[in-house]
Copies of this chain bind each other. A is one copy, B any other.
Amino acid sequence: QHERVLLGHGSGGKLSADLIQRVFLKELGNDVLSSLEDSATLALGSLEPAVDDARSGPRIAFTTDSFVVKPLFFPGGDIGKLAVFGTVNDLAVVGATPLYLSAAFILEEGFEIELLRRIVISMRHACDQAGVTLVTGDTKVVDRGKGDEVFITTTGIGLHAANHALSIRNARPGDQIIVSGTIGDHGMTIMSTREGIEFETALQSDTAPLNDLTRAMLDACPSIRVMRDPTRGGVSSTLNELATASNVGILLDEASIPVRPEVHSACEMLGLDPMYVANEGKLIVVVAEQDCQSLMKVMKQHPLGRDAAVIGNVTADHAGMVVMRTLVGGQRVVTMLAGEQLPRIC
């Protein structure tokens, strides 16, 4: 047990999960918070005395993320786009229609206002693209050296459709596991931008709003069991969370996992495993075997699901563990990200 915050406590892996359990859930835990879904689901009834039924009314999805990415601008995006799409995606993966966002800015004294404007314009385009409206905000300034240019916290509200029952607890043995496209693009883009590494083919962040894709998927297949965006900590950490929350095993087939050649080379050069690298515009989906092919068809018709692939299945064996059939033929256990691979990736 660490006494001080380490960079790894922000990794999205094991240390993050430990800190959340040991401080936040321990002291603040309640049924909604402790479910650790990508968004909280809330029933908002009327508070009028005559119809005071907290269970009535629409079901709202509610989620928040802070963004501290470095550098602020990178191939394929910037902190503003991440801040809008990241929160849109946490609403989308719980099956909600994203509607409204708030944005709170912590500015460092001395930050250039024209850079701030570029970020804000990028947020407007991102809101338009995702079909959400930014309706409230806040602006604080910290003294030079006590922040880092700009941090943005977005919080989103979405509205649930009635006809789905998505939850990270819902995976069952026999279900298939799909990834919506290539993995590691965002993390390797930030990493190589930061290190000043150039590759033959330009890497680009995959940041994108997933709500149009998830809507098409849920319309076609309302019985999808789980959706999650594998952000910090990568696909490995997300699958481990899923295996734990659903109390099932996961068996992956390494050969089927889509990785761009340039991401593959960048990972080799830096000694990283793409399974632990952050994504910003990808989905992990768990679906019943009988619905898998029809869902894959819907996904592949969507620009953001063109490279979708079935990468494994859910097992009754080795509950709580993720196991991979490797390219060379053996099997290995895939754990959560243990340390801090790439600080400030989002």
**Which residues of A are interface residues toward B (Cβ below 8 A)?**
2-10, 16, 19-20, 23-24, 27-28, 30, 32-33, 39-40, 42, 44-48, 57-58, 60, 62-68, 97, 99-100, 102-114, 116-117, 120-121, 123-124, 127, 133-143, 145-148, 151, 153, 155, 157, 159, 161-162, 343-344
A66: which B residues are within 8 A, CB to CB? 104-106, 138, 140, 153
A24's contact among B2, B139, B146, by CB below 8 Å, is which?
B139
A62:B343 contact, CB within 8 angstroms: no
- Residue contact A32 to B64, C-beta cutoff 8 Å: no
Residue of B nearest to A32 (CB): B135
Complex Cα distance, B157 from A114, in Å, reads 32
A19-B139, A24-B120 provided; 11 other pairs, C-beta below 8 A?
A: A30-B135, A32-B135, A48-B161, A57-B57, A62-B136, A64-B102, A68-B106, A141-B343, A143-B344, A147-B148, A157-B157
CA distance A143 to B123 in the complex (A): 25
A3 to B117, CA, bound (A): 11
Asked if A44 contacts B19 (CB within 8 A), the reply is no
In the complex the two chains form, what is the Cα distance from A12 to B192 in whole Å?
A: 39
Which single residue of chain B is at the shortest CB-CB distance from A346? B140
Please tell me how many copies of the chain the complex holds. 2
Interfacial chain B residues near A40, Cβ < 8 Å: 100, 102, 135-136
The main secondary structure of chain A at its interface with chain B is mixed
Residue among A5, A48, A117, A134 with the highest chain B CB neighbour number at 10 A:
A5
- B10 & A107 in contact (Cβ 8 Å cutoff): yes
List, in ascending order, chain B residues with CB within 8 A of A344's CB: 140, 142-143
Residues of B within 8 A of A62 (CB): 100, 102, 135-136, 157
In whole angstroms, how far apart are the Cα atoms of A47 and B111 in the complex?
41
> Complex Cα distance A291/B2, Å?
58
Task: Tell me the complex Cα distance, A64–B322, Å.
Answer: 38
Among B104, B147, B162, which residue has its beta carbon within 8 angstroms of that of A146? B147
Residues on the B chain within 8 Å of A141, using CB? 5-10, 343
Whether B153 and A142, one on each chain, are in contact in the complex, defined by CB atoms closer than 8 angstroms, is no
Chain B proximity of A290: nearest CB distance (Å): 26
A28 — which chain B residues lie within 8 A by C-beta?
120, 123-124, 127, 134, 137
In the bound assembly, the distance between CA atoms of A109 and B112 in angstroms comes to 25
User: In the bound complex, do residue A7 and residue B143 qualify as a contact, i.e. CB atoms below 8 Å apart?
Assistant: yes
CA distance A243 to B6 in the complex (A): 48
Given A113-B23, A148-B146, decide whether A139 and B46 contact each other with a Cβ distance below 8 A.
no
Chain B hits for A120, CB < 8 A? 23-24, 27-28
Q: B42 contacts A135, CB within 8 Å?
A: yes
Q: Which of A97, A114, A138 has the most CB of B within 10 A?
A: A138
Assembly CA distance A9 to B105 (angstroms):
11
